[in-house]
Structure 1
Amino acid sequence: MKTIGHLIAGSAAPAAAQRFGDVFDPNAGVVQARVALGDAAALEAAVAAARAAQPAWAATNPQRRARVMFAFKALVEKNMDQLAHMLSSEHGKVIADAKGDIQRGLEVIEFACGVPHLLKGEYTQGAGPGIDVYSMRVPLGIGAGITPFNFPAMIPMWMFGVAIACGNAFILKPSERDPSVPVRLAELMLEAGAPEGILQVVHGDKEMVDAILDHPEIGAVSFVGSSDIAHYVYSRGVAAGKRVQAMGGAKNHGVVMPDADLDQVVKELAGAAFGSAGERCMALPVVVPVGEKTANALRDKLIPAIAALRIGVSTDPDADYGPVVNAAHKARVEGWIQTGVDEGAELVVDGRGFALQGHEKGFFIGPTLFDRVKPSMQSYKEEIFGPVLQIVRAESFEEALELPTKHQYGNGVALFTRNGHAAREFAARVNVGMVGINVPIPVPVAYHSFGGWKRSAFGDHNQHGMEGVRFWTRVKTITQRWPDGSAEGGNAFVIPTMG
């Protein structure tokens, strides 16, 4: 059986770990590989390599660092098919979705290729008598990323692309559920010309996470995962003196106004709620139709659309979505479906018990639809992270607006309408970090920033865009004077002013 080890100092590290995790084939429900679960010693080796490589990388001019990013982008594109099949084989998402995962990450790499412009500082000539002031953005040193299973290509590239372009060394701890693609990306970064030690991969579970959070030489940590763990990462990392951005869970709502094009809404909901088996923090698992007439019409259109969805193995080009990542996650999602039933929600379509012929042991869940879900229900309050769509009926625009505004999560929200005033009002007032107007999954383009509010994010900086540049750098400001030899000296004991 294949063993997946760390990538440290440019080489595959021997799997000397005493502990290993199982990597499943979600389509067949069997273990296909094992991954070494590292410890503080493995991390220390990666930090030592990063420490050795980072100063010279930071001193490399931004244009040359950008050339490495350009080369990396070209290599990922060249290896797109290999990466997509590797990703699908461990995660379970269909090939087209896997390629989308990689492409969205590449868009941040494209943004990072503009690092010479992104790192330009500010300059003021003549701020005082013979005094000029300028600022520059400098790298933090060594950064780390802790990434989830649901986007094993995109989210690592969101993090390390900007961090490395800005002159940092980066240590990536990907999910142990689908670790192969992150290792391959690090190999391609080396092939692109990055020095050994600039991008490294260490595997592990909580032991490795804690080692990263506690290590005094790691200056910043970026995390994406569940909200409880995000809060833990943020609290422990900040207590250790680190800069931390920690993105948590979500419960995104799609509000449907009476004037919306319901055929288009249903088409959008099918992809946003059930695509990638619902394993997206920007999925749309809650739909809020405004008014009983809208709700009934939407429900009548959703049922046949859900029945038409095709669930298949990840390599099936006609499949709308594939299996979830492992048996434990399948059991968790099905447990939430039972919770919804127990709480009194109306189970319209039940995806439990779905079996794909020839792949009966695979981790498949059929699409599930609930109606008449109440805000008081625990199944509404928490993130299910599976192919489950809940209808929460609202009597008015104000009631619909209140639902995402008061929810504990504030990642994304969408409004479907033809009314410009309603859209403008909704976007201005809703208490959520990312808003879509007739856009079901409002993930910003790479040169803007990704980030939610409330329990969906901890920390002051968002992912990628200029927020990412600010997170992975700090500002140094220089005030300088070049006396001509004729000026009289001032009082050295008085704070200088610009007067």
Structure 2
Amino acid sequence: MRTIGHFIGGKEVEGKSGRFADVFEPMTGEVKAKVALATKAEMRAAVENAAAAQPAWGATNPQRRARVLMKFLELVQRDYDKLAELLAREHGKTIPDAKGDIQRGLEVAEFATGIPHLMKGEYTEGAGPGIDIYSMRQPLGVVAGITPFNFPAMIPMWKFAPAIACGNAFILKPSERDPGVPMALAALMLEAGLPPGILNVVNGDKEAVDAILDDPDIKAVGFVGSSPIAQYIYERAAQTGKRAQCFGGAKNHAIIMPDADMDQTVDALIGAGYGSAGERCMAISVAVPVGKATADKLMEKLIPRVESLKIGPSTDPTADYGPLVTKDALERVKNYVEIGVQEGATLAVDGRGFKMQGYENGFYLGGCLFDNVTKDMRIYKEEIFGPVLSVVRAHDYAEALALPSDHDYGNGVAIFTRDGDAARDFAAKVNVGMVGINVPIPVPIAYYTFGGWKKSGFGDLNQHGPDSVRFYTKTKTVTSRWPSGVKEGAEFSIPLMK
């Protein structure tokens, strides 16, 4: 059985803790590897390695740093199929979905190749008599990212690509559930010309996370995961003086107006609600039809589509989605379905009895669809993170607008309508960070920024786009005046830029 250690100082090293976690193949339910769980001392060794390597990398001019990322893009394309299969086997998502995971990460790496322009400061000549002012962006030093299981390629690249482009050294603590792809990406960065020590991958659990948060040499930390852990990391990072951007859970609504194209809307809900077995922070988990006629029409079309979803092994190119990541995740989602039944919601489609022939031990769940869900129910309030869609019927537009606006989570939301005025009003008023108009999963393109509101996001700077450069750099402002412009005599008041 394969044993996965850590990637420190430009090479894979064995774990020394004696503690390991199982890495499953979700489609079969078999343990395929053991991943080492780092100690605080192992994390410290990675940080010391990164701190020693960072000054030279930070002093490397930005266009040369960009060339490393350009080469990395080539190498990932070369190994695309191999990486996608590894990702699918460890996570459970289908290979086409795994390729999308990789591609959306690469788009942020592509954005980061523009770092020579992105890091440019400002300059004002003659701000005062003989005085010029300019600013410069400089790297923070050693920074870290703690990334989730559901996007083991995309989110690590969202974190390390801009951070490294800015001149930082990076410590990546990926999910212990599917560590293979993050380890492979680190090796490709080294092959692309990244100096050893600039990207380190340390596998682990809470002990490794706390070691990151308490290490004085780590200046910033980014996190994606559940909201309680996001809040914990944000608060503990703040206590130790670190910058933090922490993104948590979601309960993404889709508002269906009476004038929406219902066939296109159902297509969107099926893909956004059940793709990747619902294990996406941007999955649509709540559909809100406006008016009884809209709701009845929606359910009439949704039920047969959910019943006909094709669930299959990750290697089946025709499958709509594959298994969940672990047995614990499967049981958690099944438990939520039972809670919904007990709370009085109508279980229109029950996928709990699904079994995959030939893969009976895999972590599969058929699509589940609830109707008549109300906002006081747990299945509405809490993130389920599985192939479960809840329909909450709204009497009018005002009620529909209030549902996502008042919810504890504020990651993404969508509205389906042909009415431009309604769409414009909704986009302006809804209290959610990312909005789709006839777009079910409104993940912004790489040169915009990604981030939710309320309990979906902690910190004032988002992921990728210009915010990533702001997060991974500090601004220094220089005010200069040369002797020829200096008056004789001391000045005792604050200089005025007259």
TM class, shorter-length: over 0.9
Structure 1 residue 28 corresponds to structure 2 residue 28: yes
Give the match for residue 398 of structure 1.
398
Residue range with higher mean Cα deviation, 15-24 or 140-149: 15-24
User: Is 1:76–2:76 an aligned residue pair?
Assistant: yes
8 A Cα contact 2:278 2:386, kept in partner: yes
Q: Unaligned stretches of 5+ in structure 1?
A: none
Shift of 1:369: 0.3
Query: Match of 1:384?
Result: 384
Q: 2:56 matched to which residue of 1?
A: 56
Matches within 5 A, 1:54-203: 54-203=54-203
The aligned residue for residue 364 of structure 1 is 364
Question: What is the match of residue 212 of structure 2?
Answer: 212
- Contact 1:109-1:157 at 8 Å conserved across structures: yes
Q: Find the aligned partners of 2:353 and 2:487 in 1 and give their Cα distance.
A: 87
Q: Residue 15 of structure 1: CA displacement?
A: 2.3
Give the equivalent residue in structure 2 for 1:454.
454
Query: Is the aligned partner of 1:313 residue 2:313?
Result: yes
Q: Which residue of 1 aligns with 2:351?
A: 351
Q: Does 1:491 align with 2:490?
A: yes
Determine if contact 1:3/1:15 at 8 Å carries over to the other structure.
no
Contact 2:4 2:14 in 1 (8 A): no
Instruction: Give the Cα separation in 1 of the matches to 2:317 and 2:251.
Output: 29
Instruction: Describe the superposition over 1:334-366 as per-residue Cα deviations: whole angstroms up to 9, x where unpaired.
Output: 000000000000000001021100000000000
Aligned to 2:225: 225
- Partners of 1:36 and 1:203 within 8 A in 2: yes
Q: In 2, distance between residues paired with 1:227 and 1:321?
A: 25
Q: Residues 137 and 474 of structure 1 are in contact (CA less than 8 Å); yes or no, is this contact kept in structure 2? A: yes
Q: Secondary structure at the match of 2:436?
A: strand
| Counterpart for residue 431 of structure 2 | 431
Give the conservation status (yes or no) of the 8 Å contact 1:87–1:98: yes
* Alpha-carbon displacement from aligned partner over 1:194-247 (angstroms, at most 9, x marks no partner): 100100100110010000000000000000000000000000001010000000
- The amino acid of 1:313's aligned partner reads P
CA distance in 1, matches of 2:405, 2:162: 31
- Counting only pairs closer than 5 Å after superposition, residues 197-276 of structure 1 correspond to structure 2 as 197-276=197-276
| 1:367-417 Cα distance to aligned partner (Å, 9 max, x none) | 000000000001110000000000000000000000000000000000000
CA distance in 2, matches of 1:301, 1:316: 26
Contact (CA 8 Å) 2:35, 2:176: kept in 1 or not? yes
**Residues in 1 aligned to 2:488 and 2:352: alpha-carbon distance in whole angstroms:** 82
Residue by residue over 1:263-290, the C-alpha shift from the partner in whole angstroms, topping out at 9 and shown as x without a partner, is: 0001111100000000000000100000
Report the alpha carbon displacement of residue 487 of structure 1 after superposing the two structures with TM. 4.7
CA distance in 2, matches of 1:154, 1:334: 27
Distance 1:110 1:242 in 2: 27
Matched length: 498
CA distance in 2, matches of 1:490, 1:70: 54
CA spacing shift, 1:215–1:487, aligned 2, 3 Å: closer
Give how far 1:472 is off: 0.5
Name the aligned partner's letter for residue 111 of structure 1: F
2:37–2:203 CA contact under 8 A, matched in 1: yes
Residue 478 of structure 1: how far off its partner (Å): 0.4
Distance 2:478 2:85 in 1: 50
Secondary structure of the equivalent of 2:284?
coil
**TM-superposed deviation, 1:490:** 4.0
Gaps of 5+ in 2: none
In structure 2, give the amino acid aligned to 1:269. L
TM-score by length of 2: 0.99
State TM-score, norm by structure 1.
Answer: 0.99
> How many angstroms apart in 1 are the aligned matches of 2:258 and 2:233?
42
Counterparts in 2 of 1:51 and 1:309: CA distance versus 1, 3 Å: same
Where 2:277 maps in the other structure, the secondary structure is helix
Could you report, residue by residue, the CA deviation over 1:107-141 in whole angstroms, capped at 9, with x for unpaired residues? Answer: 00000000000001000000111110000111110
In structure 2, the residue corresponding to 1:194 is in which secondary structure?
coil
* Mapped partners of 2:486, 2:169: distance in 1: 45
CA contact 1:130–1:483 (8 Å) conserved in 2: no
The one-letter code matched in structure 1 to 2:493 is V
> In 2, Cα distance between the equivalents of 1:488 and 1:165?
43
Q: Take 1:487 and 1:252, find their aligned partners in 2: how far apart are those partners?
A: 60
Alpha carbons of 1:416 and 1:483: their partners in 2 closer, same or farther (altered >3 Å)?
same
Q: Deviation at 1:308? A: 2.1
- Match for 1:418: what amino acid? R
Instruction: Return the offset for 1:492.
Output: 4.1
Partners of 2:138 and 2:44 in 1: CA distance: 24
Secondary structure of the corresponding residue to residue 483 of structure 2:
coil
